[in-house]
Amino acid sequence: MIIPAHNEAGRIERTLKEYAEVFADGEIIVVLNNCTDDTAHALRNVTAACLRAVEITDPIGKGGAVRAGFMLARAPLVGFVDADGSTSAAEMRRLFGLLAHADAAIGSRWMPGASLDPPQPLIRRVASRVFNLLARSLTRLPFSDTQCGAKAFRADALARVLPAVETANFAFDVDLLAALARLGARIVEVPIAWRDRSTSRLRVVRQSLRMAGALARLAMKRSRLHWAVPYFDRIVPTRPLTLHELRAVASNGVILRTIEQDEL
């Protein structure tokens, strides 16, 4: 399990305690990124053998942090989830179970059967639907919720697509899913139980604009205009990171906590 964490001192401890129990047979990798609060201290309050943590100070976005986690993961099945605990560990475990017949299993808050208790604030739901329309029309992905923070993958499928993924901000999920789809990977989307734990830290308008910029870049990269991407980057800086750049940044990461290989 990869858990990206940006200023999560107040929310991560409870999540980790829950996940450490359910994923004691695996490995949880927390990627602290660009934290200005004491997330590292909250981590020290959790004693679990399955827990690893690395801290990367450069701001690499949620997408960058999850991708850095993918590079560190050693298990044949790898997932990621938000640090705030909006998806329970049991729900995440269910997604992993679906990988017996799929390369990727993703949660949806918008399919019939999803339970939202409590739901996201209205403005977040509106932004989510607008983004989904845009993402579907630009990428032809058929999913109802590319942005749900609960996804599981077969590591071999991930390894094949990671070199093609560059998005570092919150639109990274679209980049990853589109790359998997191009490869012919089997992706299943299932309704999920969501318990919203928003603190509305994410400034919706600014973040949505950045995500839209990243989507436009993605569409351009896959079109006949791909040669114009460097010009686009100058006008609309979405802070993409190639695998090569990410490796360089991640190599400056500080290991806060490690587990022995044979504990796996």
Ligand X SMILES: Nc1nc2c(ncn2[C@@H]2O[C@H](COP(=O)(O)OP(=O)(O)OP(=O)(O)O)[C@@H](O)[C@H]2O)c(=O)[nH]1
List residues binding ligand X (CB under 6 A).
4-6, 8, 33-34, 60-62, 65, 82-84, 149, 198-202
Plot region of 111 (φ>0 → left; ψ -120 to 50 → alpha; else → beta): beta
Where does this chain touch Mg ion (CB under 5 A) — which range of 79-87, 216-224, 231-239, 248-256?
A: 79-87
Token readout for 117 is 């208790």
Strands (DSSP E) contained in 182-237 are: 187-191, 193-194
Helix (H) or strand (E) holding 173: helix 172-182
Q: What's the token pair of residue 8?
A: 């999560």
For the CB of residue 182, give the shortest distance to ligand X in the complex, in Å.
25
Tokens representing 21 are 């129990």
Pick between residue 131 and residue 143 the one whose CB is nearest to ligand X. 131
The binder of 201, among Mg ion, ligand X, none, by C-beta within 5 to 8 A per type, is ligand X
Structure tokens at 104: 């990727």
189 pairs with which residues across the strands? Answer: 106
Residue in the structure block whose two tokens are 């923070």: 149
By beta-carbon proximity to ligand X, the closer residue of 74 and 203 is: 203
Note whether 84 and 191 are within 8 A (CB).
Answer: no
Place of tokens 């976005």: 61
3-state secondary structure of 50: coil
Task: Give the residue with the Cβ less far from Mg ion, 27 or 84.
Answer: 84
84 near Mg ion (CB under 5 A): yes
Cβ-based nearer residue to Mg ion, 82 or 173: 82
Q: Is 13 a binder of Mg ion (CB under 5 A)?
A: no
Cβ 169 vs Cβ 176: under 8 Å = no
Q: Tell me which of ligand X, Mg ion, none is bound by residue 213, counting a contact when its beta carbon lies within the kind-specific cut-off of 5 to 8 angstroms.
A: none
- Smallest distance, Å, CB 197 to Mg ion? 6
Instruction: Answer with the entry of ligand X, Mg ion, none that 199 interacts with (C-beta below 5 to 8 A by kind).
Output: ligand X
Which residue, 186 or 204, is less far from ligand X as judged by CB? 204
Count of chain residues binding Mg ion (CB under 5 A): 2
Sites of contact with Mg ion (CB under 5 A): 82, 84
